[in-house]
Amino acid sequence: MSKFLNKLWHRIKIGGEHIGVPFLIIGFSVVILLGILGLVGVSIEITLRSTLLALGLALISVGLGFTSVGISAQSDKRQTELLERLDKNMAELPLLFKDDILTPSGHKVVKTVKELRKEQSKEAAQKRLDEDTRRVGHVRGELFQNEDGNWAIHWGGKYPL
């Protein structure tokens, strides 16, 4: 029985919005129909009128409940995907904290990522310089390392532009 209820609840969560919309439409239709009949002057027995009003309001609340469960399930799914993406890109996250509030293992990750970035940065700068040299036929700049550890190209100087 528990497996059946779990499967049923999972289906309700996944299709909550789709289940709730018909309830909302029917509930609002009943309430609006009662309002129109009251404005037109059609006499309906008071017990029938109160029963229909209660039924319409109940259908609206059931529809709102299903819709909110569906929206909540979609939000939970979206948040889980974002957290998985964040977990996958965890090596980039410590760089945002600038080494000040990280654990020792976080500091190791930052150091590793910075070293990897320096190597990649130097390779990328050298590649740009080589492409420029190949394009113009002579060297127009030289590699240098900034204070932050990144590599860049110093154009001109002892080389003609």
Q: For 79-96, write each residue's pLDDT tens digit.
A: 888 887 777 766 555 555
Domain residue limits at 25: 2-88
Count: domains in the chain: 2
Tell me which of 88, 108, 128 is where a domain ends. 88
Nearest alpha-carbon partner for 69 in 5, 7, 3, 19: 19
Domain match, 74 and 99 both: no
Is residue 57's pLDDT more than 90? yes
Cβ burial of 59 (10 Å; 0-12, 13-18, 19+) is buried
Contact between 53 and 34 (Cβ < 8 Å): yes
Tell me how far apart the alpha carbons of residues 7 and 145 are, in angstroms, rounded to a whole number: 59
Domain boundary among 45, 66, 88: 88
Which pLDDT score is estimated for 26? Answer: 93
